[in-house]
């Protein structure tokens, strides 16, 4: 699984002009599922998202995690992160999970994070979404399980 983690001061996701997920300070994570991912990858990515230290402490060092600051979490499915772009001018999606597996794993990731945080906002799997964010820093990390 891939999580493109972005530290944000705010973020939202809309479908058909309607906001379906919105957070203030926290993390926006774009999520992709590989075809060979296993159940253990869900727990590992959730653990990394929740505990990755990207928020500043009193000295301005990135020593605090989402759990430490009680920040918001917005998970957005984005299968294009699993693309193979090494050749040509068109991406190949052979490494991406089938939509059924991708949707199931994305839902389980959201549920796992929700169990730890209490509240998680999400995008809609398979929908044409518009994502708005203010990347704080900017701080962006590519996480893989």
Question: Which residue numbers are catalytic?
Answer: 78-80
Residue 41 per-residue DSSP state:
H
Inter-helix orientation angle 99-117/39-51, to 10°? 40
Distance CA 137, CA 61 (A): 12
Distance CA 94, CA 83 (A): 7
């Amino acid at each position: 699984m891939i999580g493109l983690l972005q530290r944000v001061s705010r973020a939202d996701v809309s479908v058909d002009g309607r906001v379906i997920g919105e957070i203030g300070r926290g993390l926006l994570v774009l999520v992709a599922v590989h075809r060979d991912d296993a159940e253990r990858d869900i727990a590992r990515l959730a653990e990394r998202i929740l505990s990755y230290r990207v928020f500043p402490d009193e000295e301005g060092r990135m020593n605090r995690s989402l759990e430490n600051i009680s920040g918001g979490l917005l998970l957005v499915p984005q299968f294009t992160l699993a693309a193979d772009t090494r050749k040509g001018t068109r991406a190949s999606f052979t490494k991406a999970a089938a939509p059924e597996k991708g949707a199931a794993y994305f839902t389980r990731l959201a549920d796992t994070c929700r169990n730890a945080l209490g509240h998680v906002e999400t995008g809609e799997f398979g929908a044409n979404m518009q994502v708005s964010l203010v990347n704080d820093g900017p701080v962006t990390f590519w996480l893989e399980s």
